[in-house]
Each structure stands twice: as C-alpha cells, then as structure tokens.
Amino acid sequence: MSSTATTASPTAAPANPRSRVITASLVGTTIEFYDFYAYATAAVLVFPILFFPTGNDTTALLASFGVFGAAMIARPLGAIVFGHFGDRFGRKATLVASLLTMGIATFLIGCLPTYNDIGWWAALLLLILRLAQGFALGGEWSGAALVATENAPKGKRAWYGTFPQLGAPLGFIIANGIFLAINFLLPHPDGGAQRSEAFLAWGWRVPFLFSAVMVVIGLWVRLRLVESDTFAKAEQKGAIRKFPLGVVLRHHWKELILGTFIMLATYVLFYLMTNFTLSYGTKAASVDVAAAAAAAQAEAAGKPFDATAFAAQFYPGLGFGYTDFVIMQIIGVVFFGIFTLLSGPIADAIGRRKLLIWVTILIILFGLTFNLFLLPQADPKFTGAMVQAFLVFGFMLMGATFGPMGAVLPELFPTNVRYSGSAISYNVSSILGAALAPIVAVALWAATGGSPWLVGIYLSAMAVLTLIALLLSKETKDVDYDDNLGVGATGSL
C-alpha cells in the first residue's frame, strides 16, 4: 500500500491550480514593475525640474538618473535578504513582504514635498524611497519566477516562466498609460503635446498614489498561494540551509557570475529603449546657441565665457512631444509583450541557451543601427516612421531575451538556494546594466553633441559580454527540479 501511495504522489494534482499560479506571478510583477516604471517616467519628465533644479539640463537629468540608478544598488541587498527568507521559510510570505515594501514606498513618493518646499531634503527623501523600491524589487522577481516555474508542468517551465516576465511590458503600459491620461486631461496652454503646469504641480503624483489600489489586488491574489511541491520536498529531505547565501557563494559562484552576465544585455537594452529613448526623443531637435550664450553671459555678469562649451550642454534630440513619443513607446512595448510570450514555447522546444545566443547576436547587430534609425531626417514623418521601427525592433528583441530569463536563472541553482542564487544574479546584473545604462547613455549622447551612435556601440559591447557568458554556460532545459534539491551538495551550512 505504501509503495502504491509513493508511486502515485508525484502525479497528484498540484497544490496551486494553474490559473492561480499564472495570476499570482503575473499580477504581482505587473504591480511591482508598474511602481518601478512610474518612477522611471517621472525621472525624465518631472524629477529633474522639481527635485534637482541645478540650472543645467544635463546635470539635472544626470542627477535624476543617479537616484534612479541608486535603486539598482539596493536591489542586490534586497535579493540577499528576501532570498534568505525565501529559501529558508518559503516563497509565499517573502513575496507578500516585497509587494508591501514596494507599494508603501511608491505611495509615499506621491506624497513628497519638492525642492521648492524643503530644499535638498526633498531629493534626500526621494533617494531613500527609491532605495526602498529597489530593495523590494530585489526580492520580487525571483519569488515570482519560482512560483511560476516550480509549479509548471513538465516540459512547460519556460512557458510558465514567461508570465512573471509579462509583468514588465504590462506594468510599463499601465504606468505610462496613466501618465498619458492625466497629462491629456489637464489644461495645456503651450499645446497638447507638451507637459502642462498642472501636471508638474500635482498631476504627476496620481500614478504613485494609485499604486495603493493595485497593491491591495496583488496581496489578495498572493495570500491565496500555498508553497510549491518542490520546496516542500526540499524541506522533507532536510535540504533547507540556515545560511543560503553562504551555500551559494561557496558552491555556486560560477553560476552566479554566468547568470549575472547572461542577464546583462537584457538590462542594458531595456533601459536604453525606455529611459534613454524617452530623453532623446523628447529633447528639442535644435539648439539656439546664440540665445543660450546670451543668457549665460548675462548670468556670468561679464566673466569670460565659452559659448561653444555652454551650447554643448544643450545637446539636441528628436523634438517629439511627450505624448506622441510615449504612445510610440507603448506601441513598441506591445511587441515586447507578444515576443515575451512567444519566447517561452520556443525555449521549451529548442532550449534556452540556443534561443538566447541567437537573440544576443541580433542585439549586437541592433546596437550598430542606432544612427540609421535615430538621426533626424529631412521629412519629419520619415523620422517618426524610422523611430517607430526602431522601437518595435528593439522591444521585439527585448521580449525574446527577457522571456526565457524566468526559467534560465532559476534553473542554474538547486531548490534550497534557488531564490538566493537567481535573485542575486538578476539584481547584481541590474547594477552593471540598469543602474549604469541611463547615465552612460546620457554621457555618451552629450559627448557626441547629440548623436546616438556611441550609445548603440555601448549596447553592442554589453551584448558581447552576454554572448560570452552564454557560450560558457550549459543548457538547462532538461534540469529536473525534483532531482536538484541541493541535498548533500551544501555541506553543513
């Protein structure tokens, strides 16, 4: 009898129904990425003006991106903390805690006073809340990916792993859609394509405050989850360790390094396609050098002044209105979502490594086309068509590379350290990719006097590093989670 029961148990129905697994992994990451993108949009449109009024467009934008990037520094710390509790006590409670942390921090950003109210204290408070956002996101992604993949049917792990990934494009569309709706509904004395004074005064706060509603929905879904059979088996086999971080660093450091660089090109591509293109696309297409020089000379009160150096601060962009360009981005992000979903079945069929190698080669080539697509053309309509094509191609590649990551990174590690290992790889890569990408891109853009070609070279170089990591890694398609619990491989830790 006991033999029969033992044989039958692996085929028993999963504790978490398929619909609940998909919904919990998708809804949670959608909310988390919504919160993150709300800040990303405000970092370009609002925060340089309201929190970093340096008097210099470049300096203000770099300061805003600096605070944006600070969250990426906090993410590995969140990965360590949430990964520790996720590997020791389970995925469910950890996911609830990360969602609450992100939601509270985002809501409070919507309540912050600005520089005009309290001076530089406003920037400091923004930095603190931004660090809290990064800390929370450090634990969110891996937990959601594990909920999806540890509950996936055999042969469909990459497909299930795409659902937490789908939260990225959905969160982007919802966050920017709300920004667009608010901006559209407010009065625009300078034209409908431009930001209104009311938007800068209070409209930008609404998306942050709205996150409270979304968090309640996400909590309701996640509180209904139970732990996966895979984690339960690890507990029963005595595989759970008191200090998962030590196990990862001692026994799985190679996987940590490979996972970090496998994710690198994905991060750089995404933040160039969102933050950098929004900055470049909405920047004025031409610079009034004479007016800029005259204003600076008046301010300098007769001091020696280099007009050429001053004009370089006002590097040109494409001159699109905010509304127009965000709509173009949202069109591109629709393809991001479609290709995220398509990548899962392909990765299950041909393997994660093979798919990612080909996509990474295409990203390298895509980086060499920035000047082809992004330089202003004589006909503004042709410029718009080229930029839209650029956004569509870039986001298609983004979906194809981001989708399989929900399976690839967790598959690199055994169950008893899977949360910690995948979270650390994913979030250390965020420092190398996401934290630096917007800052490096703006600096390269300014250094070339407004040309994007160096930014594209930067993307290609990062993709080369990812390609090397993929070539050094092994295919994980056939990894069996039940045979990879970590038993006997981690010493006494």
Domain spanning 17-224+241-283+318-483: CATH 1.25.40.20: no
From the number of C-beta atoms within 10 Å of its C-beta (0-12, 13-18, 19+), residue 125 rates as middle
Q: What is the dihedral of CA 271, 277, 280, 283, to 10 degrees?
A: -110
pTM: 0.81
Domains of the chain by residue range:
17-224+241-283+318-483
Instruction: For residue 123, give every residue at least 6 positions away whose Cβ sits within 8 Å of its Cβ, in sequence order, or none.
Output: 51, 52, 63, 67, 115
- Model confidence pLDDT, tens digit, residues 319-375: 788 788 889 999 999 999 999 999 999 999 999 999 999 999 999 999 999 988 887
The pLDDT score that the predictor gives to residue 292 is 53
Q: Is the pLDDT of residue 108 over 60?
A: yes
From the number of C-beta atoms within 10 Å of its C-beta (0-12, 13-18, 19+), residue 116 rates as exposed
Q: Is the pLDDT of residue 394 over 90?
A: yes
Q: How confident is the model at residue 233 (pLDDT cuts 50, 70, 90)?
A: confident
The pLDDT score that the predictor gives to residue 6 is 39
Euclidean distance between CA atoms 419 and 82, whole angstroms: 8
Joined together, the tokens standing for residue 167 give 């939260």
Q: How confident is the model at residue 44 (pLDDT cuts 50, 70, 90)?
A: confident
Instruction: For residue 80, give every residue at least 6 positions away whose Cβ sits within 8 Å of its Cβ, in sequence order, or none.
Output: 138, 245, 420, 423, 424
- Model confidence pLDDT, tens digit, residues 113-125: 988 889 889 889 9
- Model confidence pLDDT, tens digit, residues 237-285: 777 888 888 889 999 999 999 999 999 999 999 989 987 888 788 876 6
DSSP assignment letter at 272: I
- Model confidence pLDDT, tens digit, residues 457-481: 999 999 999 999 999 999 999 888 8
